[in-house]
Amino acid sequence: MAYKNQEVAMLFDSSHCTGCKGCQVACKQWNMLPSKLGLNENEFTGSLQGPGDLGGDTRLVMTFDEKPSGNKYQPIHWAIGRRSCYHCTDAGCVAICSSGALQKQENGVVTFDTNKCNGCTYCQSACPFDVPRFRDTDGRIDKCTLCFDRLEEGEVPACVKTCQPEALKFGKREDMIAEGERRVAFLKKKGFDKAELYGVTEMGGLHVLQVLKFGHEAYGLPTNPKPNDMIKLMNTMKPVTALGTAAVVAGLAVSFLAAVGYRREEVSIEEAKKHWTPEQRAKADREVAELLKKEEAAKRGE
């Protein structure tokens, strides 16, 4: 229970990471997520990165970017980054989740309950880091939970446990911030002028902090990320419909998004609906029909 009731964080130190990808393997193993195992089954990404992106069965990807160093004896620097959920304080995914599957815990972790997910994919649109991913096999979303099940038992996350050079640390958030600041000061003294600690204030404060040796742009991280504007739209729609329940808002949003032809890069609402169970589709259709009926009644002044 050691990590259940205090604000916690993971600290990733890019300057200690060797790019071994042991953390990726540990994540798959602990969370029992399948991988492609055949020879050359994964697409070549042009770098050491593999797989190329997060996915429905992949919660963590180490990213590899080559940067010129300006040093003739060691001409390339690797910017090795870490893509996974960052467990935002102002978590857009939680604010927009239509089923309560995504929850913010007291210790700062954004947990995910697969059994509650209805596959609506709104969380994908709300996340500025493009983290939650759709899983074709069961029509649901998946993302890192910071190994909440391990934290409940007083254990650190599986990826942290396996990291040999201690590029990953875990503990009280304030301690992780202090350690991150110490490392950044050290790196700056060594000549890495752009070194920074990312996540102290972004999205209200992240619970995965990162010491980034070459500055956040080199790792593809956004400057001053913000939750997607769609959350405001969804929250505005609740009082308008006066129906108030998250489920009904979900139904309304499905029809709204379909009507305006909303489409995300990887999966549209209509594509997601194909993976819903007949019960889920019927429920959404009932909610939209009920909403339209009430709106008609309101127009007639009933």
Which pair of structure tokens corresponds to residue 25?
């393997």
Collapsing DSSP states into helix, strand and coil, what is residue 64?
A: strand
Distance CA 48, CA 90 (A): 33
Phi/psi of residue 111, nearest 5 degrees: -90, 165
Q: Is 92 annotated as a binding residue?
A: no
Q: Which of 113, 91, 105, 100 is nearest to 245 (CA)?
A: 100
Q: Tell me: does residue 141 bind ligand SF4 (CB under 6 A).
A: no
Please report the beta strands in the chain, taking only residues with DSSP state E, as ranges in sequence order.
8-13, 61-68, 76-83, 102-104, 110-112, 133-135, 140-142, 168-172, 196-198, 208-212
Burial of 32 (0-12, 13-18, 19+ CB in 10 A): exposed
Distance CA 26, CA 160 (A): 9
Give least dist CB 26 to ligand SF4, A: 6
Give least dist CB 177 to ligand SF4, A: 18
Give least dist CB 263 to ligand SF4, A: 20
Per CB under 6 A, the list member of 3, 78, 86, 134 interacting with ligand SF4 is 86
Site mask for ligand SF4 (CB under 6 A), range 142-181, x = bound: -xxxxx---------xxx--xx-x-xx-------------
CA 214 vs CA 22, 66, 79, 159, 206: distances in Å: 23, 11, 7, 23, 19
Q: Is 104 annotated as a binding residue?
A: no
Per CB under 6 A, the list member of 88, 197, 209, 221 interacting with ligand SF4 is 88
Please report the beta strands in 87-194, taking only residues with DSSP state E, as ranges in sequence order.
102-104, 110-112, 133-135, 140-142, 168-172
Distance CA 89, CA 205 (A): 5
Total chain residues near ligand SF4 (CB under 6 A): 40
Per CB under 6 A, the list member of 129, 134, 214, 276 interacting with ligand SF4 is 129
Give least dist CB 160 to ligand SF4, A: 7
Q: Is 97 annotated as a binding residue?
A: yes
Q: At what angle do helices 278-299 and 230-241 cross, to 10 degrees?
A: 60
Q: Which of 91, 96, 101 is nearest to 225 (CA)?
A: 91
Site mask for ligand SF4 (CB under 6 A), range 10-49, x = bound: -------xxxxxxx--xx--xx------------------
Distance CA 192, CA 11 (A): 19
Site mask for ligand SF4 (CB under 6 A), range 235-264, x = bound: ------------------------------
Cβ atoms of 59 and 118 closer than 8 Å: no
Q: Is 10 annotated as a binding residue?
A: no
Per CB under 6 A, the list member of 79, 96, 101, 110 interacting with ligand SF4 is 110
Residue nearer to ligand SF4 on the CB measure, 117 or 158? 158
**Sites of contact with ligand SF4 (CB under 6 A):** 17-23, 26-27, 30-31, 59-60, 62, 84-88, 91-93, 110, 127, 129, 131-132, 143-147, 157-159, 162-163, 165, 167-168
Binding residues: 17, 20, 23, 27, 85, 88, 93, 97, 117, 120, 123, 127, 144, 147, 159, 163
Binding residues for [4Fe-4S] cluster: 17, 20, 23, 27, 85, 88, 93, 97, 117, 120, 123, 127, 144, 147, 159, 163
